[in-house]
Amino acid sequence: MGHGGGGAMSGELVEHVFLPAFADDDLARLADSAVLPLLGGRVAFSTDSFVVRPLFFPGGSIGDLAVNGTVNDLAMSGAEPLFLSAAFILEEGTDVTKVGAVAQRLGEAAERAGVRVVTGDTKVVETGHGDGVYVNTAGVGVVPEGVDLRPDRARPGDVVIVSGDIGVHGVAIMSVREGLQFGAEVESDCQPLHRLVSAMLDVTRDLHVLRDPTRGGVATALNEIARASGVGVEVVERSLPIPEVVANACAFLGLDPLQVANEGKLLAFVDRDHADEVLAAMRAHPAGAGSAVIGECVEAHPGMVAATTGFGASRVVDLPLGEQLPRIC
Amino acid sequence: MGHGGGGAMSGELVEHVFLPAFADDDLARLADSAVLPLLGGRVAFSTDSFVVRPLFFPGGSIGDLAVNGTVNDLAMSGAEPLFLSAAFILEEGTDVTKVGAVAQRLGEAAERAGVRVVTGDTKVVETGHGDGVYVNTAGVGVVPEGVDLRPDRARPGDVVIVSGDIGVHGVAIMSVREGLQFGAEVESDCQPLHRLVSAMLDVTRDLHVLRDPTRGGVATALNEIARASGVGVEVVERSLPIPEVVANACAFLGLDPLQVANEGKLLAFVDRDHADEVLAAMRAHPAGAGSAVIGECVEAHPGMVAATTGFGASRVVDLPLGEQLPRIC
């Protein structure tokens, strides 16, 4: 508990664990807030807390999620992510080397994504009131001129593209947590998407909607966009890029792969005239190599998502009611 | 747990609990990130998590702290606070009306401080892995031109001013948590300080250092500034505005009032030429009515804080080692 008191022990934790992991001059100044270099443009601002269990999993960690989750939220507004905050809620008794390992992974992920951790906070709660480490990040980025990405900008005729295999993060967490094997080890798809978005915006600044289908999966993201924009969305099930291991896991567990979380994929709503070129740009980027058109927006059934099944029938793709799997991110 | 799954139950929580409390059009758009209106100037950025126990206490709540804590961190850089994020970690089984009450208080505090809650997040963790509600806020503000407030800018000769009574927040939390009475009910001093700072900057943009002495109290803040600036700080104990109830509580509990937390006070390091005028401006503002000069910076004992006691002796004012009182903010 002493490490959360703001005194000498807090200072040691910051000096020996967090500062080396984030290596940032502005952070090292330890002011109450960081004053950023002048930003030329509209600022995008986002936050997420991360409570994933376990802290380390195949293909990632809570530190990677904390960076990529907020970076991707900024990227979905078309912003170039620049600065992150990192706030830790530590449970009393958590091994300091574990805290250090999380901070290290967070710092490395920030470096890979090209963002700086410039401000932070640490709190400590008693045993039984936390779970090792919870992390919150907030992010600041700059939106290029002419970019206006919003969930309410989908229009009938828009083509819906996904940037690759779906359901991978959720199945990776399930397999490690429940000790289940689905034929092959599955690694989380956790990755930053802002450079992919930048490549898409190089084709046209007039992308309509981007969203990363995290908790609640593709089904939730499509429903939210359909409602916000007042359009129908029609998905062709056969066109969905679902890896065999995800299909197997979902069949075994009785889950719909459309409702399983992703941490390194995006959905794009693009007008028909630009769709081919945007798809080509996505496939040319490592983070979008598996991109595929999965459906379109229609005037019919506004606010609803329908899927054409392999047998040619149509079914409603609904929001999951509650959680499939708690604490997936 | 279902309310944290990102599906229909999450949507209901956001729609019925959080959106009404924060009443913001950009938030209501529910994009992955908020795109802010163009900001004219350098951006200050800060974050804090709040784990205070109990959630409601005399003079405030975790919602008030979550707003004022981050607003004040921005204000300590001289920034005008403009936008907040709000991220909740809820413990499974927490009464939704309690969550709503926290959100309500947070929204009201934001309105009083003149800041907008534009982006947010909710996670739910299992019973026994949280404690009702934890809140993280991050904040974005704009720093006026010519303002350069940093913990390493204190200089020998600077006058040290505190904006009012010290130790009040800590004693308020202790009294309600431990059920102790110290002669009178003590209300937390939790309040936003950015308008006070603005009044001070109207006197001179060349204030050297501002810091709000929260966890670890005035002792920690002074030590951090002394170290960062490489100056000595000398405090006159008799000049410290310590209310009788705080003095009584500290005597009873064996605490040093200099180490007790504040949530609505600031320390200012001001060069001698401006000190009188700054002090007058502070006293003219409701949040600084009790302002007092408490000491000065010296060339002797760089990095150290010394206090002249009532008997004319000198003692070292050290950092507290660990926590006096866990989860005070």
Q: Which residue of A has its CA nearest to B325?
A: A5
Contact criterion met (CB < 8 Å) for A120 and B47: yes
Cβ–Cβ gap A121/B327 under 8 Å: no
Which pLDDT belongs to residue B124?
95
pLDDT value of residue A224? 96
CA angle B44, B49, B54 (to 5 degrees): 140
Q: In DSSP terms, which residues pair with A91 in a beta bridge?
A: A125
Name every chain B residue with its beta carbon within 8 A of the beta carbon of A30: 151, 224, 228
Residues whose CB is less than 8 angstroms from the CB of residue A276 and which lie 6 or more positions away in sequence, other chains included? none
Residues B45 and A33: beta-carbon distance below 8 Å: yes
CA distance A320 to chain B (A): 5
C-alpha pair distances (Å), B285 with each of A44, A224, B38, B59, B200: 34, 47, 30, 20, 9
Q: Are B70 and A87 in contact (CB under 8 A)?
A: no
CA B155/CA B288 separation, integer angstroms: 23
- Is the link from the previous residue into A54 a cis peptide, with omega within 30 of 0? yes
Helix (H, G, I), strand (E, B) or coil at B296: strand
For residue range A184-206, list pLDDT tens digits in order.
Answer: 789 999 999 999 999 999 999 99
Token pair, residue B199, equals 């009044």
CB A5 to CB B43 under 8 A?
A: no
**B44: closest CA of chain A, how far (Å):** 4
Which pair of structure tokens corresponds to residue A199? 């490549």
Whether the Cβ atoms of residue A245 and residue A167 lie closer than 8 Å to each other:
no
Given a cut of 90, whether residue B39 has pLDDT beyond it is no
Chain A residue numbers with beta carbons less than 8 Å from the beta carbon of B324 are: 5
- Indicate the pLDDT class of residue A271, thresholds 50, 70 and 90: very high
CATH topology (fold) of B2-30+37-143: 60s Ribosomal Protein L30; Chain: A; (3.30.1330)
pLDDT tens, residue by residue, B79-111: 999 999 999 999 999 999 999 999 999 999 999
A272 CA: distance to closest CA in chain B (Å)? 23
CB B162 within 8 A of CB B63: no
CB contact under 8 Å between A5 and B72, yes or no, is no
Beta-strand relationship, A292-298 and A305-308: unpaired
Distance CA B303, CA B152 (A): 11
As to burial, measured by CB atoms within 10 angstroms (0-12 exposed, 13-18 middle, 19+ buried), residue B184 is exposed
- Average the pLDDT over A150-155 and give the result: 96
Which of B29, B73, B259 shows the shortest C-beta gap to A152? B29
**B contacts of A129 (beta carbons < 8 Å):** 129-131
Q: Where does residue B167 fall: left (phi above 0), alpha (psi -120 to 50 degrees), or beta otherwise?
A: left
Looking at chain A, the whole-number percentage of residues with pLDDT higher than 70 is: 99
Q: Which of A71, A62, A58 is nearest to A99 (CA)?
A: A62
Chain A closest-CA separation from residue B28 CA (Å): 10
B31 contacts on A by Cβ (under 8 Å): 76-77, 149-151
- Supply the DSSP symbol for B5: S
Residue B229: predicted pLDDT: 97
Provide φ and ψ at B205, rounded to 5°.
Answer: -75, -10
Give the pLDDT confidence score for residue A259 in this predicted structure. Answer: 95
Q: What share of chain B is helix, strand, coil (3-state, %, to 5)?
A: 35, 25, 40
B9, B27, B33: best to mutate for the A interface, most A CBs within 10 A:
B33
Integer angstrom CA distances of residue A83 from A22, A70, A75, A105, A191: 12, 10, 13, 17, 17
Look at residue B25 in the predicted model and tell me its pLDDT. Answer: 85
Q: Does A89 sit within 8 Å of B51, measured CB to CB?
A: yes
Mind giving me the DSSP string for B44-93? Answer: EEEEEEE--SSSEETTEEHHHHHHHHHHHHHHTTT-EEEEEEEEEEEETT
Ordered by start, the domain boundaries in chain A are 2-143, 159-316
What one-character-per-residue DSSP string does A234-294 give? EEEGGGS---HHHHHHHHHHT--GGGS--SS--EEEE-HHHHHHHHHHHHTSGGGTT-EEE
Residue B29 has pLDDT above 90, yes or no: no
In the predicted structure, residue B209 carries a pLDDT above the cut 90: yes
Tell me which residue in B49, B83, B212 faces A32 most closely, judged by beta carbons: B212
> Does the structure show a pLDDT above 80 at A325?
no
Q: Which CATH class is domain A2-143?
A: alpha beta
CB contact under 8 A, B216 and A38: no
pLDDT single digits (tens) B108-159: 999 999 999 999 999 999 999 999 999 999 999 999 999 999 999 999 999 9
Contact flag A143-B35 (C-beta cutoff 8 Å): yes
Subunit contact B79:A121, Cβ cutoff 8 A = no
Quote the pLDDT of residue B310. Answer: 86
Q: Which CATH superfamily is domain B159-316 in?
A: PurM-like C-terminal domain (3.90.650.10)
Cβ contact, residue pair B48, A121, below 8 Å: yes
Distance CA A231, CA A153 (A): 10
CA dist., res. B147 & res. A273, Å (int)? 49
Task: Please state, in angstroms and rounded to a whole number, the distance separating the CA atoms of residues B278 and B281.
Answer: 5
Task: Give every CB contact of residue B244 below 8 A, 6+ residues apart in sequence.
Answer: B183
Check B150 against A120: CB less than 8 A apart.
no
Q: Do A87 and B49 touch (CB under 8 A)?
A: yes
Task: Determine contact, residues B31/A143, Cβ cutoff 8 Å.
Answer: no
Among A18-27, B66-75, B248-257, the range with the most confident prediction by mean pLDDT is B66-75
Q: How many residues are present in chain B?
A: 329
Query: Which residues of B fall within a CB distance of 8 Å from A140?
Result: 43, 45, 140
In this predicted structure, the answer to whether residue A5 has a pLDDT above a threshold of 90 is no
Query: What percent of chain B clears pLDDT 70, i.e. is strictly above it?
Result: 99
pLDDT in tens, A105-129: 999 999 999 999 999 999 999 999 9
> Model confidence at B319, in pLDDT bands (50, 70, 90)?
confident
**B49 vs A136: CB contact, 8 Å cut-off?**
yes
Q: Give the count of alpha carbons within 13 A of B238, CB side only.
A: 7
More confident residue, A230 or A16: A230
The distance of B51 to chain A (nearest Cα, Å) reads 7
**Contact call for residues A28 and B149 (beta carbons, < 8 A):** no
The span from the CA of B288 to the CA of A162, in Å, is 55
Q: In the prediction, which pLDDT does A263 show? A: 98
Burial code of B243-279, b = ≥16 C-beta within 10 A, e = fewer? Answer: bebbeebbeebebbbbbbbbbbbbbbbbbeebbeebb
Does this chain's domain A2-143 share its CATH topology with A159-316? no
Q: What is the pLDDT of chain A when averaged over all its residues? A: 94
- Inter-chain Cβ pairs, chain A and chain B, closer than 8 A: 289
Q: What is the pairing mode between strands A267-270 and A314-316?
A: unpaired
Within 8 A of B39 by CB-CB distance, chain A residues are: 39, 43
Contact present, A221 and A260 (Cβ < 8 Å): no
State whether A35 and B79 contact (CB < 8 Å). yes
Structure tokens at A31: 């002011």
pLDDT band, very low/low/confident/very high, at A86 (cuts 50, 70, 90): very high
For residue B108, give Cα distances in angstroms to A16, B87, B102: 38, 16, 10
Which residue, chain included where needed, has tokens 């936003």?
B192
| Pairwise CB contact (< 8 Å): A49 & B87 | yes
Kindly report the number of other CB atoms within 10 A of residue A214's CB atom: 24
Write the CA distances from A199 to A109, A265, B224, integer angstroms: 20, 15, 45
Confidence of residue A68 (pLDDT cuts 50, 70, 90): very high
A chain contacts of residue B44, beta-carbon cutoff 8 Å: 33-36
Across B77-148, the runs of DSSP E, i.e. the strands, are: 80-91, 116-125, 133-143
**B320 neighbourhood in chain A, CB within 8 Å:** 5-8
Q: Which amino acid is residue A237, in one-letter code?
A: E
Closest CA to B295 of B263, B261, B269: B269
CA distance B2 to B269: 50
B69 min Cα distance to partner chain A (Å): 10
